[in-house]
Amino acid sequence: MQPRTPFVLCVLLSQVLLLTSAEDLDCVPGFQQKLFHINQPAEFIEDQEILNLNFSDCKGNDKLHYEVSSPYFRVNNEGGLVALRNITAVGKTLFIHARTPHVDDMAELVIVGGKDIQGPLQDIFKFARTSPVPRQKRSIVVSPILIPENQRQPFPRDVGKVVDSDRPEGSKFRLTGKGVDQEPKGIFRINENTGGVSVTRSLDREMFATYQLFVETTDVNGRTLEGPVPLEVIVIDQNDNRPIFQEGPYVGHVMEGSPTGTTVMRMTAFDADDPATDNALLRYNIRQQTPDKPSPNMFYIDPEKGDIVTVVSPALLDRETLENPKYELIVEAQDMAGLNVGLIGTATATILIDDKNDHSPKFTKKEFQATVEEGAVGVIVNLTVEDKDDPTTGAWRAAYTIINGNPGQSFEIHTNPQTNEGMLSVVKPLDYEISAFHTLLIKVENEDPLVPDVSYGPSSTATIHITVLDVNEGPVFYPDPMMVTRQENISVGSVLLTLNATDPDSLQHQTVRYSVYKDPAGWLNINPINGTVDTTAVLDRESPFVHNSVYTALFLAIDSGNPPATGTGTLLITLEDVNDNAPFIYPTVAEVCDDAKNLSVVILGASDKDLHPNTDPFKFEIHKQTVPDKVWKISKINNTHALVSLLQNLNKANYHLPIIVTDSGKPPMTNITDLRVQVCSCKNSKVDCNAAGALHFSLASVLLISLFSLACL
């Protein structure tokens, strides 16, 4: 058996010439020449033929239609490629697409010396002119398949044919890859006997721009004989996507008075078509401006970059003279480099003319009047100003300052944030008797500084005349509070002091009368004419109405006005202590066991309501304890405490022990208090004092009762 000669496997869409002899096929559908080269001319002349194209679908070319990748060229009825107008630079490559109901094919024109204006375009279609690459041990020629997107019915549609010039009898073609047996499945298929490749539905370049397929031949058992050979399917872009503005809303700001040519904002659109073609080459234009005053063309947009700039003079860009400081522009983006055949997308741009502080605030009047009653505080007048700037900015908001006439800081001025008015207030009560009139000079400025060519003028200052109204003011005590020091227990009727209250209304010549307002203990009296205060009761420092040795009373001074006015004064009486309180002991009850080994009974403490030195040290004694009955003992512990103890155990009973306690005052005060001592039975950790109910009298007590009985006979 003779060895097989190398066979040639060639992928043929309607774009690819079969690399077989004329004896194999009588007619090859598609362009008879697919690759052309010309030198870049100085200029392509309108309607002058550049080259002639030879296309055949082998069925009469019925309904033949041509498309050129550049909008500046077309193919005439004779197959001649001509320019639509005089043009110099069109790029390095042109693609010519021809189709009939039976065949689609693509030819490529390489312009030697042409300037690459589209960049990636040639990279995407570089496979279209890739020469077949021979492999060792086999002759396989592979060229990409170029299929326009959005083809119409009918489907399936033949798009090419795979030919093996030396294919063994009974072998079959197999097609694999994305679009065949991988997702998205079923787009392409191959006739296993003839090698015809077909597409089953319309393609969308924006979903898949390319498909990588593989072709191989197999024997009857499915074993691979040749391949796999990569087959690249490139989807040719159609202009089927409108430009879209994706970044809205579009809001721009420009300062009023900005120079002509100031950039406001940039608007760019997105086109999903092939960025290497004019299908995604965008041009921008302002379709409409609202409002159209003072000029219908206030702004211009760079057709390529999308930058919006001002085109009017700074004088026309005056916010205060504009009908509306907000403009809305309808901006359109058109693909195909802005040609009429291009698709259009629109968006709205909002441009705000921002305010600058080119107008100073001005008072609506040169002088303002205000009246205020003496002694009153609060807002007395609102000062109004005018400002043409934007009320939402610091160029409009006013700041007021008192620059003259306020030495005592009796006045303050603040800005009303809603009205921008200046609220002039009295913060320290005014006195009519001191000054019945006040004159203030006030200036107004903006929060933001003025622009350099604008300054504050005379209208930015105003004079305020303030009239103080006289009111009947209450008399005023001086001093207040009034203070006096006296010993407690002074005799009733003692004069403490004479109060002094004066009427501030010196020009009214009114009289003043006095009265007691608050005297908690009822100790005081006041002369209504001259204000002399004397006592009506004994002053007691230990009274609950006295706090920290100070007694507080309030007095009224009433003038003779109509209606009368009243003033209140405070009298603080500091009471000096005298020894008028005897000390007392605590506790007054104690318990002790009848068999106690420790004969200590109780520790006594003493207290005194007076102050030192009329208190401790205290002296503790047992009152009149006879010698035969001496069973008690009292011992000093310190200045305020003493210990009571037994000299021997006593029987169960209640005992009353008179205790004498004496303070250290001069003269001293003494108090006698009975200490009740219960002698109880204490056995088995139980204390029983029930049997101690009967009183046990000492011998001295018996003698005293006997003497009392004799005296009554």
Q: Are residues 226 and 150 in the same domain?
A: yes
Residue 300 located in a structural domain:
yes
| Boundary-marking domain end, from 412, 442, 468 | 468
Answer yes or no: are the C-beta atoms of 253 and 264 closer than 8 Å: yes
Q: Are residues 564 and 608 in the same domain?
A: no
Q: Are residues 218 and 186 in the same domain?
A: yes
Average pLDDT on 606-635 reads: 84
The range of the structural domain enclosing residue 485 comes to 476-576
**Which residues, 6 or more positions from 85, have their beta carbon under 8 angstroms from its beta carbon?**
46, 72
Query: Radius of gyration of the chain from Cα atoms?
Result: 60
Given pLDDT bands bounded at 50, 70 and 90, which one contains residue 418? very high
Helices (H) and strands (E) in the chain, counts: 2, 53
CATH code for the domain of 416 = 2.60.40.60
What is the per-residue pLDDT across 579-598, written as a single tens digit (0 to 9) for each?
A: 888 999 999 999 999 888 88
Residue 51 located in a structural domain:
yes
| Boundary-marking domain end, from 337, 354, 371 | 354
Check residue 562 and give its pLDDT: 85
Average pLDDT on 105-116 reads: 81
The answer, yes or no, to whether residue 711 has pLDDT greater than 60, is no
Residue 128 located in a structural domain:
no
Check residue 26 and give its pLDDT: 57
Residue 4 located in a structural domain:
no
| Boundary-marking domain end, from 354, 375, 407 | 354
Instruction: Give the span between the Cα atoms of 625 and 304, in whole angstroms.
Output: 127
Spell out the SS3 assignment of 284-295.
EEEEEEECCCCC
Average pLDDT on 616-639 reads: 83
Q: At 456, which helix (H) or strand (E)? A: none
Q: Are residues 93 and 170 in the same domain?
A: no
Q: Which range has the worst mean pLDDT, 94-108, 492-506, 559-573?
A: 94-108
Q: Which of 606, 607, 590 is nearest to 645 (CA)?
A: 590
Given pLDDT bands bounded at 50, 70 and 90, which one contains residue 540? very high
Check residue 4 and give its pLDDT: 37
The answer, yes or no, to whether residue 453 has pLDDT greater than 80, is yes
Neighbours of 413 (CB within 10 A): 20
Q: Are residues 105 and 149 in the same domain?
A: no
| Residue 221 CB burial class (10 angstroms; 0-12, 13-18, ≥19) | exposed
Q: Are residues 399 and 430 in the same domain?
A: yes
The answer, yes or no, to whether residue 703 has pLDDT greater than 60, is no
Residue 210 located in a structural domain:
yes
Answer yes or no: are the C-beta atoms of 656 and 695 closer than 8 Å: yes
pTM over 0.85: no
Average pLDDT on 500-528 reads: 91
Average pLDDT on 648-671 reads: 90
Structure tokens at 495: 């004069």
What is the per-residue pLDDT across 243-286, written as a single tens digit (0 to 9) for each?
A: 999 998 999 999 999 999 999 999 999 999 999 889 999 999 99
Q: Are residues 532 and 491 in the same domain?
A: yes
Average pLDDT on 361-389 reads: 95
The answer, yes or no, to whether residue 699 has pLDDT greater than 80, is no
Instruction: Give the span between the Cα atoms of 644 and 662, in whole angstroms.
Output: 16
> Please, what is the average pLDDT of the chain?
85
Given pLDDT bands bounded at 50, 70 and 90, which one contains residue 87? confident
Q: Number of structural domains, the chain?
A: 6
Q: Is the model more confident about 568 or about 125?
A: 568
Q: Which range has the worst mean pLDDT, 84-93, 429-438, 629-638?
A: 84-93
What is the per-residue pLDDT across 179-225, written as a single tens digit (0 to 9) for each?
A: 999 999 999 999 988 888 899 999 999 999 999 999 988 888 889 88
Average pLDDT on 614-635 reads: 82
Residue 226 located in a structural domain:
yes
Residue 13 located in a structural domain:
no
The answer, yes or no, to whether residue 138 has pLDDT greater than 50, is no
Q: Are residues 196 and 289 in the same domain?
A: no
Q: Are residues 249 and 229 in the same domain?
A: no
Average pLDDT on 423-436 reads: 93
Q: Which of 185, 165, 163, 166 is nearest to 176 (CA)?
A: 185
